[in-house]
Structures are given as C-alpha cells and as structure tokens.
Amino acid sequence: MTRAPIFLGVSLKMYLDHEATLRWVTDVVATADSEPAVRDGRVRVAVLPTFVSVDAVAAATRGTPVAVGAQDLAWADHGAFTGEVSGRDLASLGCRYVEVGHAERRQLFGEDDKIIASKLAAAARNGLIPILCVGEQDHLSPERAVDLCRQQVLSALAEVDSGLDELIIAYEPVWAIGAEQPADADHVRAVCRQLRAGLADDHRTEQVRVIYGGSAGPGLLTELGDAVDGLFLGRFAHDPEAFGRVIGEAAAMGRS
Ligand SMILES: O=C[C@H](O)COP(=O)(O)O
C-alpha cells in the first residue's frame, strides 16, 4: 500500500465569509501553483469551504493543482431532505473530497455512528474521497485513543462493501480542536502509526491515509515526520502565508 502523496486539507468551517474565502483561495492557489511538489502531485492540497462557496471555489481552482472538498454531505442523494446537500451535487460541482463525521457535527448537530456510516457510504457511491474524522473526547493514553478511533473507523465503514479507492482518516483528538496547541507529537505519532497499521489489510479500501488535525500549523508536519500522511488544518491556515509554509514543509519531506 503506497503512502504517497502527502495530503494537506484545510477546512474553513464557518470562519470566513464568501468574499474572504475567495480572496484566501486566490492566495492559496498562487502559493500552491508555485510549488513544484504540488504541481507534480507529490503534495496534494484541498480546500473545504462552506457549501455556499463550493461552486465559486471550484471555479477559482479549476485547472490548478488545488482540489475542492465539502465539509459535510447528506446521507441520501435526492428527495425530501430540507436543507441538506447531496454528494451527487457536490461531485457534479467539482468536489473531489468530502469531510465526514467531524467532532463538531457529532457534538453540535447530533450525528452518531449510524449517520456517519450512511454519509460515508454516500460519499463512496458518489465517487468522493471521504476525509473521515475520528478522535477521542478526552486526553487518553495512545493505546486507549487508538481503540476508540479504530471503533469509530470500523463503524463508519459498516455500510461500505468495497469500491472505496481511497480513504483519508483525519485523527483529530477532540481535546486538541480549537486549542492553542496541537496534541503532543509523541501521542500523535503513536496513534497515527497504530491506526494505519490496523487498517492496512482492510479489503474495503485500496488506500488509507492517516493525517492529523487539531490546532495544526507551521512546524508540526516536520515534527511529526513520517508517522503521518499529512495534516488537516483549521484556524492556523487562515493566513495564506502560514499555509504556504506548511506546503513548503510537505514538499521538503520528499515523499514520492
Ligand atoms: O477541521 C479542522 C480541525 O477541526 C482543526 O481545527 P483547528 O485547527 O482550528 O483546531
């Protein structure tokens, strides 16, 4: 199972308004496009704006090495689901990725394991690469965190038989989301390594990447090294220059 390329995703959550999102994406595209490792695919960059900005961000990134994703999707593809957005529409608008099961969706919007499994299946049948978020609520030992995360992954895959070319698992310890600092590097390395090893032979997906999210920013990828396959960033990528430094770190890791 190959682990290249390194994946860098940014979820803008609901922080930037539409106009600020477009300005930010313009800067990120310029930075990403000037990095050979992004242009030749050794480093993948994806941006996940709010639903209302997906179409415009897809237009702004078309023909560039920056991919677009959504922060959520409906578990159904069409019908009487007021306020929902289908994976079918997201794919047709140009999304390549979709986030599933973020801790905020669990905490604030009542998503449970069953809903998350249905959403992962919806992503798979619409050809979207899921960024499945998992993580323990409280600061536990790496072993206990791995157990909990593994259960979350297996439960999320419950409705997927096969045909998932790629799965990105974003290890996001809930206690490190929205914090001042990420989880400590030893903890992240231990959990990510064990999670990846435990899923290496899963027949339902061709390729599994384990990335880290939770107050990630410049410097972290270099510190984590080969234990992770990339980062899932939030606030500390709002400054395009800071995100550019993270892209530079990924390029310097030289995975191919
Ligand atoms: O989706 C991103 C993660 O939840 C991390 O967000 P954060 O870096 O702002 O803590």
CATH number where 89 lies = 3.20.20.70
Ligand 1 nearest atom to the CA of residue 178, by list position: 10
Pocket test for ligand 1, best of 47, 232, 243, 246 (most atoms within 8 A of CB): 232
**pLDDT for the residue numbered 43:** 97
Q: How far is the CA of 230 from the centre of ligand 1 (A)?
A: 14
* Concatenated DSSP letters of 85-140: --HHHHHHHT--EEEE--HHHHHHH---HHHHHHHHHHHHHTTPEEEEEE--SS--
**pLDDT for the residue numbered 44:** 97
In a domain, 57, yes or no: yes
Ligand 1 nearest atom to the CA of residue 216, by list position: 8
Question: Does the Cβ of 214 fall within 6 Å of ligand 1?
Answer: yes
d(CA 134, CA 177): 12
Q: How far is the CA of 13 from the centre of ligand 1 (A)?
A: 8
Ligand 1 nearest atom to the CA of residue 11, by list position: 1
In a domain, 98, yes or no: yes
Q: Where are the beta strands (DSSP E) in the chain?
A: 6-11, 43-48, 66-70, 97-100, 129-134, 164-171, 205-213, 230-233
**pLDDT for the residue numbered 163:** 73
Q: Which domain holds residue 41?
A: 6-253
Residue 136 is which amino acid? Answer: E
In a domain, 1, yes or no: no
Query: Could you tell me the pTM of the whole model?
Result: 0.96
Question: Does the Cβ of 177 fall within 6 Å of ligand 1?
Answer: yes
d(CA 196, CA 210): 6
Q: How far is the CA of 80 from the centre of ligand 1 (A)?
A: 32
Question: Does the Cβ of 236 fall within 6 Å of ligand 1?
Answer: yes
In a domain, 97, yes or no: yes
Q: How far is the CA of 35 from the centre of ligand 1 (A)?
A: 24
Judge contact between 101 and 133, C-beta under 8 A: yes
Number of structural domains (the chain) is 1
User: Does the ipTM surpass 0.90?
Assistant: yes
Catalytic positions are 102, 172
Residue showing tokens 């409280």: 138
Q: Which residues of the chain have pLDDT under 70?
A: 1-3, 256
Ligand 1 nearest atom to the CA of residue 13, by list position: 1
In a domain, 121, yes or no: yes
d(CA 240, CA 119): 30
d(CA 46, CA 94): 12
Nearest CA to ligand 1 atom 6: 234
In a domain, 71, yes or no: yes
